[in-house]
């Protein structure tokens, strides 16, 4: 081959190599631009969901290419229908067990997509932006003509409102809500509840007439355990807590003392459920707590009330404090687990006392707002059940947050001490 021919061939190779490299560079640039644009315009939650679904679909296509599916004479939809309708169990053929497992996994993913946004098992360490608390909430009420009104002095109206809020040996300094207000679902959801994206609460679930007529009365009997207080996260502490002590467990001890003073029998479980071999481990704390609480309830069938006392985790700039009897007091929040996602109830998490516990928290909320205005945050609703399925008077209670001092959380003239003691007693003692 002549030198000229070899030279021309070399030039062609160089040209082709350059073209390939330019094409690759262009492709990478386009991919990065598209990806960056998508990242900046699509919410991260949606990105996660889409990426997960695309990955599942990609794996599906790799395992079962379209050509092989067509050759075998079936489709994804057809097999799905046969499997999910139960026709296989009725004599049909489970044509593809691996796809059935894929569908089960996909259904699990869809259910738990809503439950995965925040790492904390309860409200999460970061604010969702959906919740207004404390002074923000009170300021909103001032500007809202449809919001609750101060106590009406007319006997009929006052009597009706007190029947819902309960009567305590204290002056009514806050709001007495009227029945017609609470019967309005939109009013109720706006002023009483903060609903996490992991769940939904429709009109049938938050029916004030149904919730308020439930009888939660309990006769005092100090001779037997009636109230169980425990702490799934016993190591939760406060802004100025000592290295050892001054945790939510100490708040539980104080609450137990107050309830005993009121004549109730109290069992305070101080078992540590969130430490394993000396290492903080909250991933399985609810599982460990479930075992422990079940054992206590089996040994003490007289227990009718179960209280899981926590403190919340919030953004560092948020200080959950209100003035109660002239003293700065940590706000408290009642928490309900619904065993329900926006797509429906979670069948494998039965929650037989859900409505009773919703009634329990609502009645305590009404009492707190009547006698200790500004003390309580909105009732928080989330998708799982958080061991609130064991008794019809169960409550998870967040006492302040990591930004509160221990003294703010433990106020003898405020909450969760006297205030929560009265609230619990009201929720159990008085028929509504």
At 65 the pLDDT is: 57
351/136 Cα distance (integer angstroms): 33
325/199 Cα distance (integer angstroms): 36
Cα 306–287–216 angle (5° rounding)? Answer: 20
According to DSSP, the residues that pair with 142 across neighbouring strands are none
Q: Which residue has the tokens 């009492």?
A: 367
At 418 the pLDDT is: 47
At 283 the pLDDT is: 76
Q: Domain map of the chain by residue range?
A: 3-113, 134-429
Comparing CA positions, the residue from 382, 421, 4 lying closest to residue 193 is 382
At 396 the pLDDT is: 96
Name the DSSP class of 176. -
What tokens appear for 53 in the block?
């679904």
Find out whether 326 and 183 touch, Cβ atoms under 8 Å: no
At 325 the pLDDT is: 81
Pairing assessment for the beta strands 379-382 and 193-195 based on DSSP bridges:
parallel
Low-confidence ranges of the chain (pLDDT < 50): 60, 63, 69-93, 109-121, 124-148, 414-419, 429-432
What tokens appear for 377 in the block?
């945050």
3-state secondary structure of 381: strand
At 170 the pLDDT is: 76
Prediction pTM value: 0.67
Q: Which residue has the tokens 């109230």?
A: 227
What tokens appear for 328 in the block?
């700065």
At 82 the pLDDT is: 36
At 305 the pLDDT is: 95
Quickly list H helices, 42-126.
44-63, 66-72, 76-84, 97-113
358/335 Cα distance (integer angstroms): 9
At 387 the pLDDT is: 96
Find out whether 148 and 191 touch, Cβ atoms under 8 Å: yes
| CATH (one of 3.30.2350.10, 3.70.10.10, 3.40.630.40, 3.30.70.2190) for 134-429 | 3.40.630.40
């Amino acid at each position: 081959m002549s030198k000229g021919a070899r030279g021309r061939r070399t030039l062609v190779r160089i040209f082709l190599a350059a073209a390939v490299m330019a094409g690759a560079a262009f492709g990478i640039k386009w991919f990065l631009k598209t990806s960056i644009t998508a990242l900046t315009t699509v919410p991260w939650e949606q990105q996660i969901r889409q990426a997960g679904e695309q990955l599942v679909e990609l794996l599906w296509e790799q395992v079962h290419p379209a050509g092989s599916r067509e050759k075998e004479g079936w489709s994804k939809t057809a097999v799905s229908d046969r499997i999910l309708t139960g026709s296989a169990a009725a004599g049909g053929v489970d044509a593809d067990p691996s796809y059935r497992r894929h569908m089960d996994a996909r259904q699990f993913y869809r259910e738990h997509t809503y439950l995965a946004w925040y790492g904390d098992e309860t409200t999460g360490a970061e604010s969702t932006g959906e919740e207004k608390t404390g002074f923000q909430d009170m300021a909103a009420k001032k500007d809202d003509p449809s919001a609750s009104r101060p106590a009406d002095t007319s006997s009929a109206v006052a009597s009706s409102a007190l029947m819902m809020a309960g009567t305590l040996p204290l002056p009514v300094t806050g709001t007495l809500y009227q029945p017609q207000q609470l019967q309005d679902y939109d009013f109720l959801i706006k002023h009483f509840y903060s609903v996490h994206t992991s769940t939904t609460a429709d009109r049938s679930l938050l029916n004030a007439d149904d919730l308020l007529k439930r009888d939660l009365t309990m006769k005092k009997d100090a001779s037997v355990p009636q109230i169980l207080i425990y702490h799934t996260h016993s190591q939760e502490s406060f802004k100025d807590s000592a290295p050892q002590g001054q945790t939510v467990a100490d708040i539980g001890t104080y609450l137990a003392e107050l309830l005993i003073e009121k004549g109730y029998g109290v069992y305070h479980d101080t078992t540590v459920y969130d430490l394993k071999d000396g290492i903080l481990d909250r991933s399985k704390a609810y599982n460990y707590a479930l075992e422990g609480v079940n054992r206590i309830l089996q040994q003490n069938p007289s227990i009718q009330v179960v209280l899981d006392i926590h403190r919340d985790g919030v953004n560092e700039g948020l200080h959950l404090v209100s003035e109660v009897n002239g003293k700065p007091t940590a706000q408290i929040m009642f928490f309900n687990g619904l065993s329900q996602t926006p797509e429906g109830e979670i069948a494998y998490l039965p929650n037989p006392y859900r409505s009773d516990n919703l009634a329990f928290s609502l009645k305590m909320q009404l009492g707190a707002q009547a006698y200790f205005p500004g003390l309580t945050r909105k009732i928080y609703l989330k998708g799982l059940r958080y061991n609130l399925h064991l008794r019809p008077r169960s409550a998870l209670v967040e006492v302040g947050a990591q930004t509160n001092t221990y003294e703010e959380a433990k106020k003898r003239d405020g909450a969760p001490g006297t205030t929560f003691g009265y609230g619990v007693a009201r929720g159990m003692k008085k028929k509504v």
